[in-house]
Amino acid sequence: MQELISESGHFYKANLHCHSTFSDGQKTPEELKNIYRSAGYSILAISDHNVMVDHSDLNEEDFLLLTASEINIRTHMRQHGWNPCYHFNVFPRHAHNVALPCFTPEEICYGERADELRAAQAYIGKPGYVREYFKANEMVKEFLDNGFLVMLNHPTWSFQTAEDFLAVDGFFAMEVYNHSCYVGGYPEFNDHIFDTILRTGRHIYCTATDDNHNEHEIGTAHFDSLGGFVVIQAKELTQEAVTTALEEGKFFASRGPMFHSVVLDDAGLLHVKTDPVARIALTCGARQARIAYPMSTTGSLTEAVFDTNELLPGYLRLTITDAVGRQAWSQPLWGEFPGK
């Protein structure tokens, strides 16, 4: 028996992508902590652009500020035009490891504190690393070699083609949903990109994030906090335990609905329990999708069972959708499934 999502353990709601006044966000770290903690979150990664700051002084017994940064690689300086770019979030396994590889001082350029942050930023190697688009693989490897997890951010907003996102190895996860992009008008639902990567045989997980900058107030349609999140099953609320859980895929991504458990039994039956939802869908590496619906178009369901013995080897994953169209995504299960 394999438990992809367990009914027991410590579960923490988290936003893994967030911006504060340390770059181009409009809220201070303290204000962001209050927004997320009051909404039932336990973890917030303040991942300001190209600068890594240890905010662990704001930690509490029931709330963790996860140390992180968002790294930009552009084709040229006209970032918001037609040109593709790479943005990826990096998470050190230890909260106080704030030294950045591939350090480019000029990229710390957002906000009134840019000069102060540029002077204070710790780094590995020589400063002035020249970031170029074709160096994305090299840069990801540098972060991996120095103890970071690396996540691919918003490939749709980044104008990336398959040639771009398949050119880089080493991402532990990618954003299947980005809330700030979505409320800003970009179709940042990346299920197709996620499956394209998985069908190459790569092992990668999916996240849903906010990428919030908080330029609009709570209650408005443009408010970009509290929209995409992950639920992490970690041993404890520390940077080390949470990054270990992320690396091992012990989390799911959501816009609202929750998985309660996903269990693959020894006979090859996949048992799924969820919040009340409108559909439970199974996607795999072959043209063999499976789906469960409620008995009526106005009803809901909270569980389903899928026979994996009917599926070709490769991978499978689940997507649930609630009555208002919000999704949640499980992590993939790879391999030859039991019972064959």
Domains annotated for the chain, with CATH where assigned, are 9-254 (3.20.20.140), 259-335 (2.60.40)
* Mean pLDDT of all residues in 208-216: 97
Q: Pairing mode, if any, of strands 205-209 and 173-178?
A: parallel
Query: What integer is the mean pLDDT of 117-123?
Result: 96
- Mean pLDDT across 314-321: 97
Task: Give backbone dihedrals phi and psi of 308, rounded to 5 degrees, phi first.
Answer: -80, -10
Residue 25 pLDDT more than 60? Answer: yes
Chain center to CA of 282: 20
The pLDDT of residue 121 is above 90:
yes
Q: How far apart are CA 325 and CA 27, in angstroms?
A: 29
Distance between CA atoms of residues 339 and 225, nearest Å: 43
Nearest to 329 by CA among 287, 272, 244, 268: 272
| DSSP label at residue 49 | B
Q: In whole numbers, what is the pLDDT of the chain averaged over residues?
A: 94
Residue 259, token pair as written in the block: 């998985």
- Describe the chain by its helix, strand, coil percentages, rounded to 5: 20, 30, 50
Pure H helices in 218-287: 239-247
Per-residue pLDDT, 337:
63
Q: Residues 333, 2: contact at Cβ < 8 Å?
A: yes
- Does the pLDDT value for residue 126 go beyond 80? yes
- Average pLDDT in the 316-332 region? 98
pLDDT above 70 coverage of the chain, percent: 96
What is the pLDDT at residue 340? 45
What tens digit of pLDDT does each residue of 46-87 get? 999 999 999 999 999 999 999 999 999 976 555 556 688 999
Phi, psi of 311 (to 5 degrees): -95, 145
**What is the distance between the alpha carbons of residues 66 and 60, in angstroms, rounded to a whole number?**
12
Encode pLDDT of 245-296 as tens digits. Answer: 999 999 999 999 999 999 999 999 999 999 999 999 999 999 999 999 998 8
